[in-house]
């Protein structure tokens, strides 16, 4: 039975993250929610390739792939051609271009982009740091962080921390709540390490209302009331002014956009 949403099968002899990102980027131009992506990582044999092609034929699907093992790549291209399966090779055109430019033969080894180098370990360390010092769990992280995010609940502090961790930045985040004094450590670090996150009361009301619905709670809860939201925003603004930190309005920004703004701010400061 063919599914309503078009299916893209992503085949890789490594993790498959690169191929999926390319597919999602392309799909975003056609409303990315209207496709179904099935990632098949660590493909090393023809049997798995055959299984995916069978699924693609049954579901009128598309195959996108990043296979660097020559024999496997050639087999997929040849067999998909015979079966008239729409196929897209993500890596080969760029590899061929670089091969001509460098006048070298590529290694054709899967997973080299995820090699266990120093950058990889720094990324893992930063991700673990973001988890450990999320939501003000341990204020000692403030003193060790590259950047500290502060803001009221639902200003994307946690997803921003994780996103920036993938860029190898150690991030701690602190919720600002009127009933709780901020950790003293927050006032003992350079102000340029602190980033305040603010949001419009209307946007925050919408986000919190949806959050309550997702949790199966009543929309009338104090958490989403405008009076409570205004109280929190006034309190957070006062704390940010005391800290003298930069403030970013996240009301109409995607997490990725805000994260890139923060990342470039941090990089500029490091260059000074």
Residues 54-73: pLDDT tens digits? 999 999 999 999 988 888 99
Of the ranges 19-28, 42-51, 94-103, 152-161, the best mean pLDDT one? 152-161
Reported confidence tier of residue 250, pLDDT bands at 50, 70, 90: very high
Distance of alpha carbon 63 from alpha carbon 69, whole angstroms: 17
pLDDT value of residue 104? 80
pLDDT value of residue 32? 59
* CA 50 to chain CA mean position, Å: 31
Question: In the chain, what are the domain boundaries?
Answer: 7-114, 118-271
Q: Is-same-fold flag (7-114; 118-271)?
A: yes
**Tally of CA atoms within 13 A in the half-sphere of 75 that contains its CB:** 17
Distance of alpha carbon 215 from alpha carbon 209, whole angstroms: 10
Say whether domain 7-114 belongs to CATH 3.40.50. Answer: yes
For β-strands 246-249 and 62-66, DSSP reports them as: unpaired
Distance of alpha carbon 24 from alpha carbon 36, whole angstroms: 10
For β-strands 62-66 and 87-89, DSSP reports them as: parallel
**pLDDT averaged over the chain?**
90
pLDDT value of residue 98? 84
Q: Known binding site for ADP: residues?
A: 151-158
Q: Known binding site: residues?
A: 151-158
Q: Which of 230, 250, 264 is nearest to 173 (CA)?
A: 250
118-271: CATH number: 3.40.50
pLDDT at 1 over 50: no
């Amino acid at each position: 039975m063919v599914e309503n949403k078009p299916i893209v099968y992503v085949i890789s002899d490594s993790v498959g993250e690169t191929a999926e990102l390319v597919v999602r980027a392309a799909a975003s131009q056609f409303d990315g929610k209207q496709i179904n992506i099935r990632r098949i990582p660590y493909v090393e044999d023809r049997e798995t390739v055959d299984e995916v092609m069978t699924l693609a034929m049954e579901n009128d699907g598309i195959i996108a792939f990043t296979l660097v093992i020559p024999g496997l790549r050639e087999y997929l291209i040849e067999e998909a051609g015979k079966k008239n399966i729409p196929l897209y090779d993500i890596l080969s055109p760029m590899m061929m271009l670089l091969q001509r430019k460098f006048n070298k033969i590529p290694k054709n080894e899967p997973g080299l982009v995820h090699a266990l180098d120093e950058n990889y370990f720094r990324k893992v360390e930063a991700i673990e740091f973001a988890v450990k010092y999320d939501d003000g769990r341990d204020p000692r992280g403030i003193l060790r962080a590259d950047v500290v995010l502060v803001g009221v609940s639902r200003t994307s502090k946690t997803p921003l921390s994780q996103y920036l961790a993938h860029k190898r930045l150690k991030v701690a985040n602190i919720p600002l709540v009127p009933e709780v004094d901020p950790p003293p450590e927050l006032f003992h670090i350079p102000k340029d390490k602190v980033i305040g996150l603010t949001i419009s009361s209307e946007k925050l009301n919408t986000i919190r209302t949806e959050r309550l619905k997702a949790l199966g709670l009543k929309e009338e809860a104090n958490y989403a009331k405008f009076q409570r939201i205004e109280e929190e925003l006034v309190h957070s603004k006062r704390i940010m002014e005391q800290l003298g930190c930069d403030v970013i309005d996240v009301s109409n920004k995607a997490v990725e956009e805000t994260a890139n703004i923060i990342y470039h701010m941090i990089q500029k400061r490091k260059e000074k």
